[in-house]
Amino acid sequence: HASAPNTDPATAAGGAHSPGNDAAGVQARRRRTFAVISHPDAGKSTLTEALALHARVISEAGAVHGKAGRKSTVSDWMEMEKARGISVSSTALQFTYDDHVINLVDTPGHSDFSEDTYRVLTAVDAAVMLIDAGKGLEPQTLKLFQVCKHRGIPVVTVINKWDRPGRSPLELLDEIEERIGLIPTPLYWPVGIAGDFRGLLRRSDEGFIRFTRTSGGATVAPEEHLDAEAAAAREGDAWQSAVEESELLSETGADHDQEMYLAGQTSPVIFASAMLNFGVRQILDTLVAYAPPPRARDGVDGKSRQVSDPFSAVVFKVQAGMDTAHRDRLAFMRVVSGTFERGMVVTHAQTGRPFATKYALTVFGRDRNTVEDAYPGDIVGLVNANALAPGHTLYSDPRIEFAPIPSFAPEHFAMISARSAGKYKQFRKAIDQLDTEGVVQVLRNDARGDASPVMAAVGPMQFEVVTARMQAEFGVETVVNNLGYTVARETDKESAPGLNRQRGVEVFTRSDGVILALFSDKWRLQYIEKENPELTLRPLVAAS
Ligand code: G4P
């Protein structure tokens, strides 16, 4: 390689036309950008630590997330967040594994479940659906899965906590197939029942990966690789059952099929214990082998932006006031195409104005590092990005504008007004600002008037963010009254009067012009749909 001083495959690829752009293409192929979708307590934080541990970003588990009692590195940007010991911030963790660059984008998902949780899924190419072996599919996982399905994001299933007594593996697979129609195709099968986790049978070659526990799961679990004969001798009946079950799976067609996985019809399954670090390397291997790298994305004009085209990115989240000392606004963008270099001046598609990227950061919790360059699939935080809102596009010529992020089905509704009528002007300005930023959806109708609009949210935490920011940034004290609605449907002008006449229903216009009908509960909705088939009622994305 005397003539190739740069042996980095990313840049070494070069190219006759434009070496920089080809570098973006090569870097894109190395990348896997994914999120973990799960219900609280399934083990997402533990798995995040375990993944980072395997990728050697950190040497010991316990340094990544900020739950009470653990080493806290996660942002505590608001008092309420501190009080609850949870993280409001969407964060991204980047690490290298096996010459691949992995971007793990965090989905806030505890009591802080919000529209941001869904928006994160617009920034990833793949998802890991993390399931507690003892509990199976849970509500929040189902909601997030629906968004993945809607967006065509392929899903790898991880059945966690196999070190604890739980259900049978086949029963868990049945549940996945029956309830969400995803065909599970296990790549590895557990050796040992739940609670007696010895290792994994690799179904591709009937090899046995035997794990050894380490103290507190604080280091990578040592693996021993045995062939089938040695495994049988070592594990006896546990191995035999695993082999039989694996054969049964093959007979029912539960083997991995890459095309069907990418089409969202099947899901590779891995059994794991995030706590003991069992199966974690196999999750990474699976992502590297099968999860899709960043792909071209269509602009609103129908033209598609290839990963090797000039720089473009989509903003998927804006975080205000993360650092109380600076009161800054941080916009998170996902690079779609090209090479991003800190300091470059790009164009903000929505305003046509130049945007200087001098302050570009990678952010994980409290830790902020200046980023020098980034490639398709990478997540970059931009400081003081006042004009940017979720769904906005940044680009280098030629122009591109990506489709806006859809609004997700709200399930919580509350009326908000200024405590003092004298603050109406500030209130009005603040609510518009927070609406534009996508903090909540703002709904209005003539009956309620402008002084007390209705906030619609995916999680009640969004209301708290609104009241806190109203007070802190706009000096407006607010009064919030929860409304008794729980379901929203999209409707139209023609159906609105008929719906407004119904009991337990109210029609609103959202600031993007969409007309929404709110219902007290799903039974009311079902009844009205049945009695009035002529009314237009369309479910919104991720409607449960
Ligand atoms: P989350 O982010 O999805 O909410 O879950 P988190 O990782 O915080 O895990 C929730 C609980 O489940 C934690 O216990 C964690 O230790 C436990 N856990 C996670 N993965 C595994 C696993 O593979 N096996 C077993 N047995 N437990 C697991 P906790 O008691 O709430 O907290 P802690 O005191 O253990 O930290």
Q: Which amino acid is at 384?
A: N
Token duo for residue 61: 């588990």
Angle, CA of 515, 519 and 520, to the nearest 5°: 155
Q: Which amino acid is at 103?
A: N
Asked if residue 65 has its Cβ within 6 Å of ligand 1, the reply is: no
Asked if residue 45 has its Cβ within 6 Å of ligand 1, the reply is: yes
Q: Is the overall model pTM greater than 0.90, yes or no?
A: no
Q: Is 107 annotated as a binding residue?
A: yes
Contact 2, 8 (CB under 8 A): no
Contact 342, 333 (CB under 8 A): no
Mutual orientation of helices 237-251 and 169-180 as an angle, nearest 10°? 30
Supply the pLDDT for residue 317: 87
Reference 104, options 379, 380, 383; nearest CA is: 379
Output the CA 277–ligand 1 centroid distance in Å.
Answer: 12
Question: Taking the chain (544 residues) in consecutive chunks of 10 residues, what is each chunk's mean pLDDT?
Answer: 38 41 90 95 90 62 34 35 37 84 83 84 97 95 93 97 95 96 96 96 96 83 94 96 95 94 97 96 97 97 95 90 59 94 92 86 57 88 84 96 91 96 93 90 94 94 90 92 96 96 95 95 96 95 66
Supply the pLDDT for residue 116: 86
Rg (CA), the chain: 25
Half-sphere exposure of 32 (CA within 13 A, CB side): 26
Mutual orientation of helices 424-436 and 461-474 as an angle, nearest 10°? 130
Q: What are phi and psi of 84, to 5 degrees?
A: -95, -10
Q: Which amino acid is at 125?
A: D
Measured from the Cα of 110, ligand 1's closest atom is 4
Residue whose entry in the numeric block shows the structure tokens 């963008």: 333
Ligand 1, atom 24, lies closest to the CA of 161
Ligand 1, atom 15, lies closest to the CA of 43
- How many Å apart are CA 69 and CA 86, to the nearest integer? 12
- How many Å apart are CA 78 and CA 102, to the nearest integer? 29
Could you list the beta-strand ranges (E) of 375-485.
Answer: 379-383, 393-395, 412-418, 441-444, 454-457, 478-482
Supply the pLDDT for residue 217: 73
Angle, CA of 226, 230 and 235, to the nearest 5°: 95
Measured from the Cα of 39, ligand 1's closest atom is 3
